[in-house]
Amino acid sequence: MVPERLRNTTRYLAAAAYLDTGFRDRALAALIQRRHHAVAPSVGGFDLGPVLRHCLYSRSMLTVRDAAVTLMLALTLIFNAAGAAPWLIVMSVLAILAPGGFGSPGGRQRRGKANPVSLVVALVAGLLVVSTLVVMLTRYLGIGAVEEGEAPAVAWLAPVMFFGAIGTVLAYRVRIYRILSETLYPGAGRTGAEAGPRMTEIALAQRGNLTLYSGENPFVGAGDLVRAWTIAAELDRRADAGDRAPAEVDAVELHRFVGERLSQMGTDPAPGMPVHLEIRDHVIAQGRLNQLHGEHPLLEDNQPRYQLGDAELHAIIRNSQAGARHYRWIVVGTSGTAVTDARGDEVLPAEERDATVSVLIHMAVEGRMLYTEFIVMALPPVRAAYRVVDELPRAAGATLVLAAFKRSTLSLARDLMGAPLRLLARGFSAMSLPEEPEKFVVYDYGARLSVRELAAERGISTFLEELDAFKYAKLVEERLNNAVLDFLEQHGVDTAAYRQQIAAVINNGTVVNGGTFTGSNIGGQGAKFAMQGAKS
């Protein structure tokens, strides 16, 4: 049986587990260590399972490497402290100058060089770890002081240990690149399966229809806010209907009707090419839950639920004033189709995009009013540094070793001198107390971060990607409004007010900047379209 092929986004995030210690540590902390927190949706079809398995394996390998390097640095000082000190000082200075400090930064808010003050503090902490280990090993090995002017008998071992530490770092780097080239190359198949209850739960939760969120952003995993508008219109009958009493409009029927019309964009064979859409129901709710009167309905065995049944979804749709809110979540254009000519010959192969556009639609019927909310979110592509897996040779050899050695000397110094600090941090992390939310009346079970957002670039990287985001949002917007109007007219509702507000949405533009927006939308004559560092 041919294994399932990994999507490009999954491969890039799995590569980040080896290339970016900050990304790896934050991903494991959010999803493995904090077992009582919800899992953010996996937008765009990537799979968290392989990513987390590579994160766990990478952490194990790095712990072994850092332990070996720390021991060798300590022995270097024991055998010949005077001779080794200048070399260690030079390497420490290079480590401070290295981009990213002692570990590549993870996340979209930590780019470029690390704070020099924090690097100096980190260096001092690492040297203290080595010094402590030196004292302990000196006493244990019984290496005493020598007479003044007399060289220690084992002084020749100092350079052996020092260059052994450098060799360990280089060998580890080659091993990492072999893993990348052999398991994460373009077209690589999925290997292994989820092991353990937490990994199985994460695999299911990433595709669930319920997300508990923490903080201000309810759409964790969707990216940056780029466009939004709302329309509120009365549900009065048309004047020619005779009876001006409010029309009977069921929110569930409205959602079903609109969903079917949106789905037709990806199924109708003509005219034109179908639009690739991923449409699903999704409910968001605040993760800060009160269990004073027993287990909250959104929890199960003290774990956040991630799947609601149809009856529960319908109840939330009809009761929009509740603490949970239903959205129709549409992900557009992540998978392309091959371009062929009239003879069926391939002109362009199918292209898989890792930048995604999400459209979220909320419709509520309250107090004789119909409320429609339209939100567009854009998730930038995965960082370029993680795409090295597309450039590595499949077979191990001199070319692969050269690719591993092409990284700068500064990063080598960072890996070498940062080993004691990383080892110390790993020890403290392993000793952390487990979560016990059952001891609290109120506990925040919400998802803190999205692994996909953690690996994203700062923003959409090309103008064509911005235009694509605008195009797909407009296509969905047009189909949505037409579907709502058709539904209202079928139920005898006067649509004049709704049409007026649609016109206002089209004619008035708003720039979304820094994650906030005002006005009705981006679009229409004279409108500006911008994605400028919006916060997720």
Which pLDDT score, from 0 to 100, does residue 422 have? Answer: 85
Cβ neighbours for 497, distance < 8 A, ≥ 6 positions apart: 233, 234
Q: Where are the domains positioned within the chain? A: 8-197+386-430, 224-379+462-507
Judged against a pLDDT cut of 90, whether residue 438 lies above it is answered with: no
What's the average model confidence in pLDDT over 160-167?
85
What's the average model confidence in pLDDT over 475-487?
92
pLDDT digits (tens, 9 = 90+) for 224-271: 888 899 999 888 877 665 555 667 889 999 999 999 999 888 776 555
330-351 per-residue burial string, b: 16 or more CB within 10 A, e: under 16: bbbbbeeeeeeeeeeeeeeeee
Sorting pLDDT into bands at 50, 70 and 90, what band is 109?
A: very low
Rounded-to-integer distance, Cα 510 and Cα 513, Å = 9
Judged against a pLDDT cut of 90, whether residue 340 lies above it is answered with: no
Instruction: Determine how many CB atoms are found less than 10 A away from the CB of residue 460.
Output: 24
Question: Minimum mean pLDDT among 75-89, 126-140, 219-233, 410-424: which range?
Answer: 126-140
SS (H, E, C) 126-150: HHHHHHHHHHHHHHHHCCCCCCCCC
Instruction: Determine how many CB atoms are found less than 10 A away from the CB of residue 51.
Output: 28
Tokens found for residue 194: 């989820």
Residue 171, H or E segment: helix 157-183
* Helix ranges, 274-380 (H): 310-318
pLDDT digits (tens, 9 = 90+) for 491-523: 888 888 899 888 888 776 543 434 444 333 433
Cβ neighbours for 217, distance < 8 A, ≥ 6 positions apart: 535, 536
Which pLDDT score, from 0 to 100, does residue 485 have? Answer: 94
Tokens found for residue 484: 């709502």
CB of 365 closer than 8 Å to CB of 334 = no
CB of 382 closer than 8 Å to CB of 372 = no
Q: Please provide the average confidence, as pLDDT, over all residues in the chain.
A: 78
Which pLDDT score, from 0 to 100, does residue 293 have? Answer: 79
pTM of the model: 0.80
Sorting pLDDT into bands at 50, 70 and 90, what band is 273?
A: low
